[in-house]
Structure 1
């Protein structure tokens, strides 16, 4: 059997991130579910994420309310220190699928009456390799596969195991993404099919109105790869007295104009620039505010978008 789920950039939308929620993960995910979120992003990397609590919250919520999982889209990531072998990558994906959506009923793709376990949405490589200081596990990592070999295992996750609908890369540089694209295309031309070569379906990287990751985004647009923005609200600007995105007078003026929050303006900017977003908050009021983007995600006009473009040029010398 072959289930080659392939989604285009029509999948761009609003999800909920679960990084750095710590002991509040279960309760926060539950609040997000109650507010209407059905797309969630997590990761296997402990310290930053609690994937187990995400899965427990999903299971309890859907079981208690007797809901099916049809519109549930859960993505997670394998950390670079776990890219140790072809079989280990596939096993990690299988274990994460079970932990996160194992309680969901099997699904039956349109092209077949044969059921398969309810899959993850995207399974990402969290980073191509470890670098010291990125995570405690990266201070003394094991020997791991290079990115090309790891990518072949990822292709097996979606093409042989059906653990995930899609596969992706996170924290990737443009030259690394181009190399994977070339690697895949060379194997397609060579007729390789076990596993079937597959371009990345999604790339997750930091982008905000000041530091836009334009080169990577343009590359994703060229190859029909979904670009998922994290830290869209400017939280990566750590060496400045205050968040330059959330305190921008330009953004504040646009927010007042539309009677929306500053966060909604920034996230709508991303959505209207072909990015998916995965904001997070641990406060119920903020979560409910973010959930408005599920039904009204696009509200900026051309004048607003032009004004937002000035943020990047104004700060270019400070990046």
Structure 2
């Protein structure tokens, strides 16, 4: 079974206008894993970038690992295959390396022709738009995900944003075991118990938002002052290794056994984020960075669903 690269490229918040160019540039920089999702709204442009790269001989399909995710409105088993096929069509691919449940949140179905990507509101044009839940148990969604593997549409399946209890529950009924758990993880949210549990079940862990608040400042979900890159202990370790604070944090994440999916549209930063394999942190340096943990979660449905969509819907205690 193919192994997912330790360092991937995240497509969340990459503008459609330059997304194809960004994908090509990332491939030139050396990225071989692209983390996509229907909800990011740019899979068509990602597909265009991939096809350009293939056509220019920059890379072959077999050399890439492409991830996509099932959105909340498609949890009903009747819609899972169609949602996957839509992502495949947009990405111009025959198969995904990994397909994941994006959130353990089932929302009311929205037809492709009505709105795509559907996002969170069931009726965004209404005077009082609503986030409407759907009565779909996660085990039914997972069974449909297993069907995608059986039909050859995806090689592996996984889950995002699951907590420990949901992982235990999933492992009790999964016929096709999840290969990857994708979670928010960084020095302010180390998630040590959850990562240890995943490894106990032989589930690989991908850390999204590995640089903590960096992804959230521009969408008003964090402040500039929340940056882990300005922590004195991080800057001290960076100076010791003649690396940037970002490189130190990304190295910490990989060295603790998680893969990462940083994002940058700047070619220099793309290459910088990849250049973390030529040094190692000492045990003391690792522990010092881990000690920054404050259980600070930036991507929390228990916060943003209420603020943005008018519904209190926590999935973490």
Give the length in aligned residue pairs: 276
Q: Is the 8 A contact 2:23 2:49 kept in 1?
A: yes
Select the residue among 182, 204, 229 that pairs with 2:172.
182
Residue 261 of structure 1: aligned partner: 244
Contact 1:81 1:141 in 2 (8 A): no
Report what 1:308 is aligned to.
289
- 259 and 298 in structure 1: CA distance in 2 versus 1, 3 angstrom threshold: closer
State TM-score, norm by structure 2. 0.79
CA 1:298–1:51 in 2, change beyond 3 Å: closer, same or farther? farther
Structure 1 runs not aligned, ≥5 long? 1-5, 103-116, 185-196
So what's the TM-score if we normalise by structure 1?
0.79
Distance in 2 of aligned mates of 1:239 and 1:279: 17
Tell me whether 1:32 sits opposite 2:26 in the alignment.
yes
Q: RCO (CA 8 Å, sep 6+): is it higher in 1 or 2? A: 1
TM-superposition CA deviations, 1:39-58 (whole Å, max 9, x none): 1001001xx44111111100
8 Å contact from structure 2 (residues 184, 297) kept in 1: no
Give secondary structure in 2 for the equivalent of 1:268: helix
Give the corresponding residue for 2:272: 289
Residues 1:227 and 1:12: Cα distance change in structure 2 (over 3 Å): farther
Q: How far apart in 2 are the matches of 1:316 and 1:75?
A: 27
- Partners of 1:208 and 1:264 lie apart in 2 by 13
Say whether the 8 Å CA contact 1:220–1:227 is kept in structure 2.
yes
| Residues in 2 aligned to 1:74 and 1:25: alpha-carbon distance in whole angstroms | 15
Further displaced range: 50-59 or 88-97: 88-97
After superposition, give the CA deviation of every residue in 1:158-212 in whole Å (9 maximum; x if it has no partner).
1x1111111011111211121111122xxxxxxxxxxxx1121111110011211
Work out whether 1:225 is the aligned partner of 2:203.
yes
Residue in structure 2 matching 1:96, options 71, 82, 87: 87
2:28 aligned with 1:52, yes or no? Answer: no
Q: For 2:182, what is the secondary structure of its paired residue?
A: strand
Q: Is residue 154 from structure 1 mapped to residue 138 from structure 2 by the alignment?
A: no
What is the CA distance between 1:73 and its match in structure 2?
Answer: 0.3
**Matched residue SS, 1:136:** coil
Shift of 1:259: 1.2
> Quick check: 1:271–1:298 contact (8 Å CA) kept in 2?
no
Residues 180 and 297 (structure 1 numbering): CA distance in 2 closer, same or farther, change over 3 Å? Answer: farther
Q: CA deviation at 1:245?
A: 1.1
Q: 1:215 to 1:128 in 2, by over 3 A?
A: same
Partner of 2:314: none
**Do the aligned partners of residues 290 and 161 (structure 1) sit closer, same or farther apart at CA in structure 2, a change above 3 Å counting?**
same
Q: 1:55 to 1:297 in 2, by over 3 A?
A: farther
In 1, the alpha carbon distance for the partners of 2:14 and 2:180 equals: 24
Asked if 2 retains the 8 angstrom alpha-carbon contact of 1:127 and 1:170, the reply is yes
The structure-2 alpha-carbon separation of the partners of 1:317 and 1:21, relative to structure 1 and needing over 3 Å to count, comes to closer
Contact 1:255 1:261 in 2 (8 A): yes
Contact 1:271-1:297 at 8 Å conserved across structures: no
Q: Contact between 2:34 and 2:67, CA under 8 Å: does it hold in 1?
A: yes
Task: Give the C-alpha shift of residue 156 in structure 1.
Answer: 0.8
1:249 and 1:49, CA in 2 relative to 1: closer, same or farther beyond 3 A? Answer: farther
- The whole-number CA distance in structure 2 between the counterparts of 1:36 and 1:239 is 30
